[in-house]
C-alpha cells in the first residue's frame, strides 16, 4: 500500500514538473533536460501542427528605429502568416513602454500594424541574451516548423565590442537604448548553441538586418548552430519584407538556401537605384563549411607569421584592401587578392590561394553588390584594422574565429610594422 502511494506521488510530481513553462537561462548555461525533450521539431505541441517555416523576427526598436518600426512591420503584413508559414515578431519600442509579440496576419495598411498581438510583455531588455533565448525557445515551441529563419533587426557595428571608461564605444548588435545593453556576437553564439541543444535542430538561416555584420568573426560564433547566415559587410537598409516574404509564403517548400536567395535578390533590387554613396551589398554564407575555412585561415596566418621577409608587403596589402565603416574590417577576398599581387614567398602564396579558392567556391554561396566602380566587396569581411586598440583586440581574442585561426596574432604582428 505504501509503495503504491509512493508511485502515485511520483507520477503526480513528474506531471506537474513537465507542465511548467521553460525557464530562461543565462548565456553559456543551459539547464539539464531529458534526452527526448524537443522544441518544435515537427511535432504537435498543443498550439498548432508543425508548418514548413517559422520566420522569427527579433525587432529591437528601443532606439532611433522606433520612428519607423510600424512602417517596416506593416510590410511584413503584405505576406502574412499562412497555413504553411508562420511570421512572428517580437517588438520593443523606445522607452519603458512594454514589449509585444505579433503573429503577422495579411494586411495592406501602410505604416500601421494590424496583426494580432499574441502576447503583451513587460518592458524587455532586447540587449540581453536571456531575452533573445527566451524569444527563440518560445517561438519554436508555440509555432513549430520544419525550418526556422531568425532575423535580428537593429543597429550593428560588426563583431566589435569595446568598452572605454564604462561607456560602449562599439556595441556589436541589437542596441537597447532604454537598458543601455546590447548583444555581443559571443552571447548570440552561446544562446543559439543552447537552443540547438534543447531542440536538436539547427536554425536554418540566421539573418542580420543590421549594418556591418557579415564578418568572419560573427559567422564563426554560430557556425555550429545555424546552416546559413545572411547579412551585409557594408551598412545596410531595412529589408524589402513585402517582396521577400510574399515569395516565401508562395513557396513554403523552399529550403534555407532558396529562401536566402529570394531575400538577396529582393534586397539588391531595392538598392539598385538612387544615388546613395553607400555600396550596399549582401551575401549568403554556408556555415557548414566554416570549420574547413578556419583551418585554411589558420594555415595562412601560420605562413605569414613564418615569412619574416614578407611582412612589409603584407602590410601594404592590408592598406590596399577594401574596407568598411571606421576601417577596422576589410574584405577578406580582396585582402587575399592584394597578397597575391604583392607577396612572392611561396608558402604565403600557396596558403592565400587555398584560402581564397575555398572562400569563393564553398563559403560565399552568393553575393550581390550595388554597382559602384570602386567597391571590391566579395561577401565576407575580417578584422584588419587601420589601428589597433587594446580593448578591441582583447575582445577579438575571445572570439571563436581568433581562437581557431590565431588571427589576433596576425593583427598584432602587422601592427608592429
d(CA 11, CA 17): 10
**Which whole number is the average pLDDT over 115-128?**
96
**Which whole number is the average pLDDT over 298-302?**
98
Give the lowest-confidence range in 62-71, 80-89, 293-302: 62-71
**Which whole number is the average pLDDT over 224-230?**
98
pLDDT band at 370 (very low <50, low <70, confident <90, very high): confident
User: Which pLDDT value is given to residue 37?
Assistant: 37
**Which whole number is the average pLDDT over 374-380?**
90
User: Which pLDDT value is given to residue 76?
Assistant: 97
Give a yes or no: residue 1 inside a domain: no
d(CA 56, CA 143): 10
* Comparison of pLDDT for 18 and 178, the residue scoring more: 178
**Which whole number is the average pLDDT over 194-202?**
96
Same domain, 150 and 276: yes
Residue 256: is its pLDDT beyond 90?
yes
Cross-strand bridge partners of residue 58: 90, 152
pLDDT band at 48 (very low <50, low <70, confident <90, very high): low
Give a yes or no: residue 21 inside a domain: no
* Comparison of pLDDT for 308 and 144, the residue scoring more: 144
DSSP codes of every residue in 176-205: ETTTTEEE-HHHHHHHHHHHHHHHS--EEE
Residue 384 and residue 321 in contact, taking contact as beta carbons nearer than 8 Å? yes
- Cα–Cα distances in Å, from 133 out to 53, 79, 85, 226? 19, 26, 21, 14
Q: Is 309 exposed, middle or buried (CB count within 10 Å of its CB: 0-12, 13-18, 19+)?
A: exposed
Judged by DSSP in three states, 301 sits in: helix
User: Which pLDDT value is given to residue 150?
Assistant: 98
Same domain, 249 and 346: no
Give a yes or no: residue 125 inside a domain: yes
Residue 238: is its pLDDT beyond 50?
yes
d(CA 234, CA 212): 5
DSSP state of 111: T
User: Which pLDDT value is given to residue 162?
Assistant: 66
DSSP codes of every residue in 333-393: HHHHHHHHHH---HHHHHHHHHHHHHIIIIIEEEEEE---SS----S-EEE--SS--HHHH
**Which whole number is the average pLDDT over 205-215?**
95
Positive or negative, the CA dihedral 159, 162, 166, 171 is negative
| Global model pTM greater than 0.75 | yes
User: Which pLDDT value is given to residue 416?
Assistant: 77
Give a yes or no: residue 359 inside a domain: yes
Give a yes or no: residue 322 inside a domain: yes
Average pLDDT over the chain, rounded to an integer: 86
Which residue in this structure is represented by grid cell 509564403? 249
**Which whole number is the average pLDDT over 92-116?**
94
Domain residues for 324? Answer: 290-415
Same domain, 236 and 382: no
Residue 11: is its pLDDT beyond 90?
no
Give a yes or no: residue 85 inside a domain: yes
Q: What pLDDT digit, counting tens, does each position of 167-189 carry? A: 445 568 888 888 988 999 999 99
Which residue in this structure is represented by grid cell 536554418? 204
Same domain, 154 and 276: yes
pLDDT band at 34 (very low <50, low <70, confident <90, very high): very low
The three cell numbers of residue 266 are 529582393
Give a yes or no: residue 345 inside a domain: yes
**Which whole number is the average pLDDT over 395-415?**
95
- Please say which residue of 230, 254, 288 terminates a domain: 288
Residue 17: is its pLDDT beyond 50?
no
Give the lowest-confidence range in 274-283, 315-324, 355-364, 396-405: 274-283
Same domain, 253 and 223: yes
Looking up residue 197, the CATH number of its domain turns out to be: 3.40.50.11970
Backbone angles phi, psi at 214, to 5 degrees: -90, 75
Q: How many domains does the chain have?
A: 2
Same domain, 276 and 395: no
Residue 284: is its pLDDT beyond 90?
yes
Residue 81 and residue 87 in contact, taking contact as beta carbons nearer than 8 Å? yes
pLDDT band at 275 (very low <50, low <70, confident <90, very high): low
- Please say which residue of 255, 288, 321 terminates a domain: 288
Same domain, 310 and 400: yes
Same domain, 212 and 313: no
User: Which pLDDT value is given to residue 27?
Assistant: 32
- Please say which residue of 268, 288, 308 terminates a domain: 288
**Which whole number is the average pLDDT over 342-365?**
98
Same domain, 353 and 272: no
| Residues 6 or more apart in contact with residue 392 via CB below 8 angstroms | 160, 162, 170, 328, 385
Residue 128: is its pLDDT beyond 60?
yes
Give the lowest-confidence range in 1-10, 148-157, 271-280, 353-362: 1-10
Same domain, 220 and 364: no
Which residue in this structure is represented by grid cell 494580432? 116
Q: What pLDDT digit, counting tens, does each position of 78-96 carry? A: 999 999 999 999 999 999 9
Same domain, 359 and 268: no
Give a yes or no: residue 35 inside a domain: no
User: Which pLDDT value is given to residue 388?
Assistant: 87
Same domain, 258 and 272: yes
- Closest Cα to residue 249, out of 257, 259, 260? 259
Q: What pLDDT digit, counting tens, does each position of 137-157 carry? A: 999 999 999 999 999 999 888
Amino acid at each position: 500500500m505504501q509503495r503504491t502511494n509512493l508511485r502515485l506521488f511520483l507520477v503526480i510530481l513528474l506531471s506537474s514538473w513537465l507542465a511548467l513553462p521553460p525557464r530562461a537561462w543565462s548565456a553559456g548555461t543551459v539547464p539539464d533536460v531529458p534526452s527526448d525533450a524537443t522544441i518544435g521539431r515537427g511535432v504537435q505541441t498543443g498550439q498548432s501542427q508543425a508548418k514548413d517555416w517559422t520566420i522569427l523576427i527579433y525587432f529591437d526598436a528601443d532606439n532611433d528605429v522606433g520612428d519607423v518600426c510600424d512602417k517596416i512591420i506593416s510590410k511584413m503584413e503584405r505576406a502574412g502568416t499562412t497555413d504553411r508559414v508562420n511570421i512572428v515578431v517580437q517588438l520593443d519600442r523606445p522607452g519603458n513602454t512594454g514589449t509585444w509579440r505579433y503573429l503577422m496576419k495579411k494586411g495592406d495598411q501602410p505604416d500601421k500594424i494590424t496583426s494580432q498581438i499574441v502576447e503583451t510583455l513587460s518592458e524587455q531588455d532586447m540587449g540581453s541574451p536571456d531575452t533573445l533565448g527566451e524569444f527563440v525557445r518560445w517561438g519554436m515551441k508555440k509555432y513549430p516548423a520544419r525550418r526556422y529563419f531568425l532575423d535580428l533587426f537593429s543597429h550593428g557595428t560588426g563583431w566589435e565590442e569595446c568598452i572605454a571608461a564604462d561607456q560602449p564605444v562599439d556595441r556589436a548588435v541589437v542596441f537597447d537604448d532604454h537598458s543601455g545593453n546590447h548583444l555581443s556576437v559571443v552571447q548570440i553564439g552561446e544562446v543559439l548553441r543552447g537552443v540547438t541543444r534543447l531542440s536538436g535542430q539547427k536554425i536554418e538561416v540566421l539573418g542580420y538586418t543590421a549594418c556591418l555584420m557579415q564578418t568572419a568573426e560573427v559567422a564563426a560564433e554560430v557556425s555550429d548552430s545555424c546552416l546559413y547566415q545572411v547579412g551585409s559587410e557594408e551598412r545596410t537598409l531595412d529589408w524589402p519584407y513585402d517582396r521577400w516574404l510574399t515569395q516565401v509564403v508562395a513557396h513554403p517548400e523552399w529550403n534555407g538556401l532558396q529562401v536566402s536567395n529570394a531575400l538577396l535578390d529582393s534586397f539588391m533590387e531595392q538598392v539598385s537605384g538612387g544615388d546613395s554613396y553607400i555600396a550596399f551589398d549582401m551575401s549568403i554564407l554556408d556555415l557548414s563549411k566554416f570549420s574547413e575555412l578556419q583551418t585554411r585561415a589558420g594555415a595562412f596566418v601560420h605562413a605569414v607569421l613564418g615569412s619574416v621577409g614578407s611582412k612589409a608587403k603584407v602590410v601594404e596589402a592590408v592598406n590596399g584592401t577594401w574596407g568598411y565603416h571606421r576601417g577596422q574590417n576589410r574584405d577578406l577576398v580582396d585582402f587575399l587578392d592584394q597578397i597575391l599581387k604583392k607577396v612572392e614567398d611561396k608558402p604565403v602564396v600557396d596558403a592565400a590561394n587555398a584560402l581564397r579558392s575555398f572562400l569563393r567556391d564553398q563559403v560565399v554561396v552568393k553575393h550581390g553588390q550595388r554597382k559602384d566602380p570602386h567597391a571590391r566587396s566579395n561577401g565576407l569581411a575580417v578584422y584588419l584594422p587601420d589601428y589597433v586598440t587594446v580593448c578591441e583586440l582583447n575582445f577579438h581574442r575571445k572570439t571563436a574565429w581568433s581562437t581557431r585561426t590565431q588571427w589576433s596574432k596576425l593583427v598584432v604582428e602587422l601592427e608592429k610594422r
